[in-house]
Amino acid sequence: MRSGVFIIGGGLAGWRAAEAALAGGARVTLVANGSGNSPDIHALNCPVLPEDSVEQFIEDSLKSGKYRNDRPLVETMCRASLSLKDEFAFDGTVLHPVGSSVPRCVSIRHAIGAIALKQIKERLEGRVKVEKRTVSADDVLTLRAAAPGVQIIIATGGWCGKYDFSTNPSYLKGDGLVMAEALGAALKDVDEAHVQYEPTVRTEGPKRGIPVITTLLYEGARLLTPEGKEFLEDARLDKDELSKAIFGIGGTAMYDLTAVPEEKLRECKMDPAERIIKVAPAPHSSLGGIVIDAKCHALDAEGNIVPGVFACGEVTAGVHGLNRLGGNGGTAAMVFGTIAGREAALELKNDES
């Protein structure tokens, strides 16, 4: 590849970047070693209800992140999320993410991640060069040396796959962070304080590591101690607070779904016969990563743009602060994927003119 856009990552961030870069007239290569976490996205945030607003969405995201978020990134995400309702035929369900002031999680059949990925891939069929392999930092340095005009987009997702008990596949271990540093970009918040735990992850059986959706806490579900006793004064805490509460009782809890209506369980793709599930918090989302600006340029330690390097999705830092609001992982991947692809294609045009 001598010019064009080279994307590492085949989740929603990577494919949205591919679509936007193609729309901007670029030749696109996308390399991935799996499909990442994106096919597991049930629902994502988009303020669709009359009682909701972009401003409320911004405030909920900042509050959830303990006001340690990068505000321009949050504002960009929340404002751009509005266009998602024109792009996707959401099915009318609006779930209430824990920690949010109003219901805001929209979807298509509780599978927006898999459905959106399928739709994008079908639209781009034959127009993107797709390679299935693992990319290393040496590979991107070699590419950079051989083809300095190529715009590189890092969309390699988070790093929670490095933990034994995690909701992520083991190949998501932060390779993109090593690539970014090799190319001169800065990282931030790549410590344990910026690992978000999913509070209610199955601990046993063939589904070990698979989360049980927390929005059920708004549908009558309860969290109990292993002995079956109530321990939460308010179950509608954010994910971080719920995880801390479960660690406070020894690290495991029983998720009691007996009061949840059967149709709600079916909607969430749960087996209605399964009413009591043993759960524990597990590393789920990484909140830190590559430092970017609101156009997804990777920045160096002085805050300067690293020429020709973009990043989007869970590999980046800043948008979620200290705690990601449920539903914002999908929205961030969608929104910043598109921005990264568009800006990388623009950069190519500027270089060529």
Ligand X SMILES: Cc1cc2nc3c(=O)[nH]c(=O)nc-3n(C[C@H](O)[C@H](O)[C@H](O)COP(=O)(O)OP(=O)(O)OC[C@H]3O[C@@H](n4cnc5c(N)ncnc54)[C@H](O)[C@@H]3O)c2cc1C
By CB under 6 A, residue 36 contacts ligand X = yes
Of residues 34, 53, 72, 97, the one with CA closest to residue 335: 72
Nearer to ligand X, 5 or 31 (CB): 31
Nearer to ligand X, 101 or 134 (CB): 134
The one among 4, 6, 7, 9 contacting ligand X by CB under 6 A: 9
Rounded Cα gap, residues 20 and 347, in angstroms: 13
By CB under 6 A, residue 195 contacts ligand X = no
Rounded Cα gap, residues 79 and 102, in angstroms: 17
Rounded Cα gap, residues 65 and 62, in angstroms: 5
Q: How many CB atoms lie within 10 A of CB 307?
A: 13
Nearer to ligand X, 138 or 230 (CB): 138
Rounded Cα gap, residues 10 and 155, in angstroms: 8
The one among 5, 18, 43, 114 contacting ligand X by CB under 6 A: 43
Instruction: Evaluate whether 223 touches 244 at the Cβ level (below 8 Å).
Output: no
By CB under 6 A, residue 33 contacts ligand X = yes
Which residues from 158-187 bind ligand X, rule CB under 6 A? 167-168, 171-172, 175-176
How big is the site for ligand X, counted in residues (CB under 6 A)?
41
Rounded Cα gap, residues 296 and 105, in angstroms: 24
Q: How far is the CB of 134 from ligand X (least distance, A)?
A: 4
By CB under 6 A, residue 12 contacts ligand X = yes
Terminal CA-to-CA distance of the chain, rounded, Å?
19
Rounded Cα gap, residues 269 and 25, in angstroms: 40
By CB under 6 A, residue 340 contacts ligand X = no
Rounded Cα gap, residues 318 and 77, in angstroms: 12
Q: Which stretch binds ligand X (CB under 6 A): 54-62, 150-158, 220-228, 275-283?
A: 150-158
Q: Which stretch binds ligand X (CB under 6 A): 72-80, 155-163, 287-295, 299-307?
A: 155-163
Q: How far is the CB of 140 from ligand X (least distance, A)?
A: 10
Rounded Cα gap, residues 101 and 32, in angstroms: 37
DSSP class per residue in 65-91? TTT-S-HHHHHHHHHHHTTHHHHS---
Q: Binding string, 116-135, against ligand X, x = CB under 6 A?
A: ------------------xx
The one among 4, 19, 24, 35 contacting ligand X by CB under 6 A: 35
By CB under 6 A, residue 285 contacts ligand X = yes
The one among 5, 7, 13, 339 contacting ligand X by CB under 6 A: 13
What one-letter code names the amino acid at 16?
R
Which residues from 315-334 bind ligand X, rule CB under 6 A? 327-330, 333
Radius of gyration of the chain (CA): 20
Contact residues for ligand X, defined by CB under 6 A:
8-14, 31-38, 40-44, 134-135, 155-157, 167-168, 171-172, 175-176, 211, 284-285, 313-314, 327-330, 333
